[in-house]
C-alpha cells in the first residue's frame, strides 16, 4: 500500500491546471498524495481558490498576499484575513514574506504586509506560510521580534535560504518545507540544512506548477510529484520512505491541525 503523504503547498488556481484538476488530483491519489493545500497569493483571487477547495475533498487552502504583489494590490487587513479564516477549509495564513530578489524596491510594503499577516496568524491560530528570498537577515529579525511580541506558528515554505535563517526559524519552533529544489543534483548544501533539522519539523511540498523535482525538472509540476521530493527527503534522513512519509504526515497534522480536523469531519 502506498504511504499517504501531503503536498503542503501548491497553486491549483493557476492556469496550468485549468480544465484538468480532477485528473491532477486523481494522479496525486495514485501516488499516495491524499491531501494538498492550494495557496491564494492575491486576496482578489480568494473566491476562486476557495471554490477549488470546496469542490474537491482532498484540497484545503490558505490565503494571503505574496510579497512580490505587496505593492501592486490593496494592502490586506488583519480583520479581512481573520474573517476569511472562518471558512472550514482555510487552514493557513499566506503566503506572505519578503522577496528582495526581484522586488526589493517594495521592501517597506512587504514588511508592512508581513506584519499584518503575522497578527492574523496570532489571532486565528492558523500557521503562517512564509516565502523568503534574498532577505534572510530581515526575515530572521522580523520573525524573531514578532514572535517575542506574541507567539504564532509558521512554516518556511519552499525553504532554500541559508543555514542562519533555518536555525532562526527552528529556534522559534517553526517548520521547514522541502520542495523540488532540495532534490536538484546541485542542492547538496540545502540537503545538508535539512539533514541538520529535527525530523519533526519538516514538511514536503511541490509549489506546483513550479520547481518540479527530478525526473520531471523543467516540466510542469503537479501534486503527485511531491512523492519524488519525499523520497529524496527519506534519503537525507536515512529512513525508509514509509517512515519519512509517516513523519511528515504527523508534522503536517500538528501544524495544520485544522486540515486534520476538517478531513475527519468530512
> Is residue 39 pLDDT above 60, yes or no?
yes
Q: What is the pLDDT of residue 264?
A: 61
Supply the pTM of this predicted model: 0.96
Label residue 1 by pLDDT band (50, 70, 90): confident
d(C-alpha 191, C-alpha 40), whole Å:
28
Asked if residues 221 and 17 have their Cβ atoms less than 8 Å apart, the reply is no
Cell numbers for 233, please give them: 527527503
pLDDT digits (tens, 9 = 90+) for 49-95: 999 999 999 999 999 999 999 999 999 999 999 999 999 999 999 99
Rounded to an integer, what is the distance from CA 58 to the centroid of its chain? 16
Q: What is the pLDDT of residue 255?
A: 98
d(C-alpha 102, C-alpha 8), whole Å:
25
DSSP 15: G
> Is residue 153 pLDDT above 70, yes or no?
yes
d(C-alpha 64, C-alpha 95), whole Å:
5
CATH code for residues 5-265: 3.20.20.140
> Is residue 265 pLDDT above 90, yes or no?
no
Cell numbers for 247, please give them: 513523519
3-state DSSP assignment of residue 175 = strand
Cell numbers for 159, please give them: 525553504
> Is residue 98 pLDDT above 80, yes or no?
yes
d(C-alpha 166, C-alpha 251), whole Å:
17
Describe the strand order of the beta sheet including 33-40 as a list of residue ranges. 5-10, 33-40, 59-63, 90-99, 128-133, 154-156, 175-178, 202-204
> Is residue 266 pLDDT above 60, yes or no?
no
CA angle 188, 190, 195 (to 5 degrees): 90
Size of the chain, expressed as the number of residues it contains: 266
Q: What is the pLDDT of residue 263?
A: 67
Q: What is the pLDDT of residue 194?
A: 98
pLDDT digits (tens, 9 = 90+) for 169-204: 999 999 999 999 999 999 999 999 999 999 999 999
Amino acid at each position: 500500500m502506498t504511504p499517504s503523504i501531503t503536498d503542503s503547498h501548491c497553486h491549483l488556481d493557476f492556469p496550468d491546471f485549468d480544465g484538468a484538476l480532477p485528473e491532477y488530483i486523481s494522479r496525486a491519489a495514485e501516488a499516495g498524495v491524499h491531501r494538498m493545500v492550494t495557496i491564494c497569493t492575491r486576496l482578489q483571487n480568494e473566491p476562486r481558490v476557495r471554490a477549488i477547495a470546496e469542490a474537491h475533498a482532498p484540497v484545503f487552502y490558505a490565503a494571503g498576499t505574496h510579497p512580490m504583489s505587496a505593492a501592486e494590490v490593496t494592502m490586506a487587513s488583519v480583520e479581512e484575513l481573520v474573517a476569511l479564516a472562518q471558512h472550514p477549509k482555510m487552514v493557513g495564513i499566506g503566503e506572505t514574506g519578503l522577496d528582495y530578489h526581484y522586488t526589493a524596491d517594495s521592501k517597506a510594503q512587504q514588511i508592512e504586509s508581513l506584519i499584518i499577516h503575522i497578527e492574523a496568524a496570532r489571532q486565528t491560530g492558523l500557521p503562517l506560510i512564509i516565502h523568503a528570498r534574498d532577505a534572510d537577515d530581515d526575515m530572521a529579525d522580523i520573525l524573531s521580534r514578532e514572535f517575542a511580541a506574541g507567539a504564532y506558528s509558521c512554516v518556511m515554505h519552499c525553504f532554500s535560504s541559508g543555514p542562519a535563517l533555518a536555525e532562526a526559524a527552528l529556534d522559534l519552533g517553526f517548520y521547514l518545507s522541502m520542495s523540488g529544489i532540495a532534490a536538484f543534483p546541485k542542492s547538496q548544501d540545502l540537503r545538508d540544512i535539512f539533514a541538520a533539522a529535527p525530523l519533526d519539523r519538516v514538511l514536503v511540498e511541490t509549489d506546483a506548477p513550479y520547481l518540479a523535482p527530478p525526473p520531471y525538472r523543467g516540466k510542469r509540476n503537479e501534486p503527485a510529484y511531491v512523492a519524488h521530493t519525499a523520497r529524496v527527503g527519506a534519503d537525507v534522513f536515512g529512513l525508509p520512505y514509509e517512515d519519512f512519509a509517516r513523519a511528515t504526515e504527523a508534522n503536517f497534522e500538528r501544524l495544520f491541525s485544522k486540515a486534520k480536523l476538517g478531513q475527519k469531519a468530512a
